[in-house]
Structure 1
């Protein structure tokens, strides 16, 4: 029965205990207690799940990696960018401790200030530049951001000479492509549904964790000037070179330096 459970969890790792109980009853006509299921799965602990889009195309992922290899793109040449959003509620921790049978309660002074966008450019040395702003992210915001980013870029194959974007429509502006061409900078598109190839995704995860920690320690700063608070958080996380190199490694990019 344990092998059967493990096979089912391999196909569907988010099954709950009661669902597994029912599956065992249907398959073996045996009523198993929840504690027995838990003991049987002691070597299969619950973990944070990584979700992969069914739309992911492995051929397109291979082609993206092939393009980088064919161009001999090195890590010191790459700049990734992407956007994430947060708000004042994103500063709060959503779990806490309390006696058994009690719900943990915490009172906070909350202000609804709308959504804030965080738009960083990430290199192997950290966050090269960023913007924090309210409102939507359209092609004009991205065009203006890339225009500024290009001041930090050298022509290929120099440092920061390959800008990598995801396949969001606002990143596909002909004006951006023209600006990059004129600057001698490559503008490369990630394969669709491939967040694991983009260190920005993990930067955002680390940033959101740090925002919650910083708010816990300095709530008055966030409540007085939320934009300043977010910018400070971005700079602290963005200055961590070891983290940036680690995230490049996670994205499959070995760290290299210009000769």
Structure 2
């Protein structure tokens, strides 16, 4: 008998021949990458008023709880870098992440953590291709690897966002200030055991 289960996000574009070839080529390379050198970068965000979506109530009785009355326009973004031992750099910013915000993150938060030989991995959005952004990484002796298009399944930080947002929901922040604190606190809770599990799930070779 079939049962209900949560859908796994899937981009149908990955089945295009050109994208499928990119993914196949990356898989060949993936197992040879030294995970101790890998740094995965991504962005996500949410809004004040976020709260738990589930809870407990006596059988047969409805579950009540506070709704999310706050404006979803008050969006706050977080940018983070994930390594094998956890989060190595993070930043929060009001609104969506613009190229200037991302460049500030790379220069001020990410670059100081990089060592020669590190490999910074991110997706193919335009601000990740910005010349100043890439130069800030290369100046540290690191290199940039762009993940295949439509392939969030190769980026373990995608799993981190799900866990971080679950923690943020439990904190129930109602102001931008509280939300930013909850974001930073939640990102810092990620441990090496979390990162290793996500890396393995995404197909990277563990030590």
TM-score (norm 2): 0.85
CA contact (8 A) 2:168 2:183 kept: yes
| Residue 49 in structure 1 maps to residue 7 in structure 2 | yes
In structure 1, the partner of 2:26 is 64
Match among 115, 125, 132 for residue 85 of structure 2 = 125
Unpaired runs of at least 5, structure 2: none
Between stretches 116-125 and 56-65, larger displacement belongs to: 56-65
Match among 182, 192, 201 for residue 229 of structure 1 = 182
3-state SS, counterpart of residue 60 of structure 1: helix
CA contact (8 A) 1:124 1:255 kept: no
In structure 1, the partner of 2:116 is 155
3-state SS, counterpart of residue 183 of structure 1: coil
Shift of 1:139: 1.3
CA contact (8 A) 1:162 1:187 kept: yes
| Residue 197 in structure 1 maps to residue 154 in structure 2 | yes
Q: Deviations over 1:53-99 (max 9, x none)?
A: 11002211112233445xx4200100001111111233332566476
Q: Distance in 1 between matches of 2:63 and 2:5?
A: 23
1:223/1:83 CA distance change after superposition, 3 Å: closer
In structure 2, the partner of 1:247 is 198
1:67/1:253 CA distance change after superposition, 3 Å: closer
Higher helix fraction: Structure 1 or Structure 2? Answer: 1
TM-score (norm 1): 0.69
Q: Distance in 2 between matches of 1:191 and 1:80?
A: 13
Unpaired runs of at least 5, structure 1: 1-40
3-state SS, counterpart of residue 209 of structure 1: helix
Q: Distance in 2 between matches of 1:207 and 1:122?
A: 13
| Residue 137 in structure 1 maps to residue 97 in structure 2 | yes
3-state SS, counterpart of residue 79 of structure 2: strand
Within a 5 Å distance, the mapping from 1:28-47 to structure 2 comes to 41=1, 44-47=2-5
CA contact (8 A) 1:76 1:255 kept: no
Larger radius of gyration: 1
| Residue 169 in structure 1 maps to residue 126 in structure 2 | yes
Question: What is the aligned length?
Answer: 201
Higher strand fraction: Structure 1 or Structure 2? Answer: 2
Q: Which has the higher contact order (CA 8 A, sep 6+)?
A: 2
Q: Distance in 2 between matches of 1:46 and 1:232?
A: 33
